[in-house]
Structure 1
Amino acid sequence: MLSRRGCKPEVLILATVGILGLLFLLKTDEGKQAMKAATRVSSTSPSAPTPGVPATPRPVPKCKENASAANVSGFAGLPGHIQDFLRYKHCKAFPQLLDAPDKCSPGVFLLLAIKSSPGNYERREIIRKTWGVERTYRGVRIRRLFLSGEAGDAREAWKLNRLLRLEAAEHGDVLQWAFRDSFFNLTLKQVLFHSWLEARCPGARFLLNGDDDVFANTDNVVHYLLGLGGAGGSTGHLYVGQLIANVGPIREKWSKYYVPEQVTAVKSYPPYCGGGGLLMSGSTARAIYKESLGIELFPIDDVYLGMCLQRAGLAPASHMGIRTVGVRVPSSKLESFDPCYYKELLLVHRFVPYEMLVMWRAIHEPDLRCGKTLQVYQSV
Structure 2
Amino acid sequence: MNLLRKRWLLWLVCALLTNGVIFLVLWSYRSPAGDQPTVSPWTETPFWRSDCPLESLWNREKRQLAEAQTLEEEEEEECRPDTQLSTTFTDFQQLPQPMQDFLTYRHCRAYPLVLEPPPGWCSGRPLLLLAIKSRAQSFARRQAIRQTWGRLAQGRAWDGGLNETPDSGLGEARGPAQARGLGQARGLGQSRGPGQSRGLGQARGPAQAEGLGQARGLGQARGRGQAQGLGQARGRGQARGLGQARGLGQAQGLGQARDPGQVQGPGQARGPGQAKGLVRLIFLLGLPEGPGSLTTLLGCESRQYGDLLQWAFRDTFLNLTLKEVLFQRWLSSRCPFSRSFVFKGDDDVLVNTAGLLRLVRSLRSNQNRQLFLGDTILGARPSRNPALKYYVPGAFYRGPYYPPYAGGAGVLYSAGLAPWLARAARRLPLFPIDDVYTGMCLRQLGLLPVHHPGFRSFGSNVTHRRDPCAARHLLMVHTPRPRDMLHLWGLLHKPNVTCD
TM-score range with shorter-chain normalisation? 0.7 to 0.9
Q: What SS does the aligned partner of 1:67 have?
A: coil
Q: Residue 94 of structure 1: which of 105, 111, 126 is its match?
A: 111
Deviation by residue 1:189-216 (Cα, 9 ceiling, x = unmatched): 1111111101111115100100000110
Q: What SS does the aligned partner of 2:278 have?
A: strand
Q: Is the 8 A contact 1:325 1:350 kept in 2?
A: no
Q: Is the 8 A contact 1:326 1:350 kept in 2?
A: no
> 1:222-301 maps to which residues of 2 (within 5 A)?
222-233=357-368, 236-301=369-434
Equivalent-residue separation in structure 2 for 1:193 and 1:366 (angstroms): 39
Q: Which residue of 2 aligns with 1:164?
A: 298
Q: Residue 282 of structure 2: which of 145, 160, 169 is its match?
A: 145
Equivalent-residue separation in structure 2 for 1:301 and 1:360 (angstroms): 28
Q: Residue 217 of structure 1: which of 352, 364, 373 is its match?
A: 352
Q: What SS does the aligned partner of 1:106 have?
A: coil
Q: What SS does the aligned partner of 1:103 have?
A: helix
Change in 2 beyond 3 A, CA 1:320/1:142: same
Q: Residue 122 of structure 1: which of 116, 119, 140 is its match?
A: 140
Q: Is the 8 A contact 1:275 1:301 kept in 2?
A: yes
Structure 1 runs, 4 residues or longer, greater than 4 Å off? none
Equivalent-residue separation in structure 2 for 1:327 and 1:94 (angstroms): 35
Q: Is the 8 A contact 2:382 2:401 kept in 1?
A: yes
Q: Which residue of 1 aligns with 2:471?
A: 342
Q: Which residue of 2 aligns with 1:85?
A: 102
Deviation by residue 1:274-304 (Cα, 9 ceiling, x = unmatched): 0011111112223211101221110000000
- 1:208 aligned onto 2:226: no
- Alignment gaps of 5+ in structure 2: 1-73, 161-276
How far apart are 1:336 and its partner, in Å?
5.8
- Letter of the 1:107 counterpart: R
Q: What SS does the aligned partner of 1:284 have?
A: helix
Equivalent-residue separation in structure 2 for 1:162 and 1:172 (angstroms): 15
- Alignment gaps of 5+ in structure 1: 1-57, 372-380
Q: Is the 8 A contact 2:465 2:484 kept in 1?
A: no
Change in 2 beyond 3 A, CA 1:257/1:350: farther
- 1:196 aligned onto 2:316: no
How far apart are 1:73 and its partner, in Å?
1.7
Q: Is the 8 A contact 1:277 1:349 kept in 2?
A: no
Deviation by residue 1:321-348 (Cα, 9 ceiling, x = unmatched): 111114359xxxx786210122221112
Q: What percent of counterpart residues are identical?
A: 41
User: Larger helix proportion, structure 1 or 2?
Assistant: 1
Deviation by residue 1:206-249 (Cα, 9 ceiling, x = unmatched): 0010000011010111111111122432xx11111111110111
Q: What SS does the aligned partner of 1:370 have?
A: coil
Equivalent-residue separation in structure 1 for 2:410 and 2:318 (angstroms): 17
Q: Which moved more, 1:164-173 or 1:350-359?
A: 350-359
Change in 2 beyond 3 A, CA 1:328/1:350: closer
Q: Which residue of 2 aligns with 1:60?
A: 76
Q: Which residue of 2 aligns with 1:353?
A: 482
Equivalent pairs counted in the alignment come to 305
Q: CA RMSD in A?
A: 1.8
Equivalent-residue separation in structure 2 for 1:365 and 1:229 (angstroms): 33
Equivalent-residue separation in structure 2 for 1:292 and 1:340 (angstroms): 40
- 1:69 aligned onto 2:85: yes
Q: Residue 456 of structure 2: which of 318, 323, 326 is its match?
A: 323
How far apart are 1:151 and its partner, in Å?
1.2
How far apart are 1:138 and its partner, in Å?
4.8
Q: What SS does the aligned partner of 1:137 have?
A: coil
> 1:356-375 maps to which residues of 2 (within 5 A)?
356-371=485-500
Change in 2 beyond 3 A, CA 1:251/1:200: same
Change in 2 beyond 3 A, CA 1:326/1:102: farther
Q: Which residue of 1 aligns with 2:314?
A: 180
Q: Is the 8 A contact 2:465 2:477 kept in 1?
A: no
- Letter of the 2:395 counterpart: Q
Equivalent-residue separation in structure 1 for 2:488 and 2:465 (angstroms): 12
Equivalent-residue separation in structure 2 for 1:315 and 1:81 (angstroms): 30
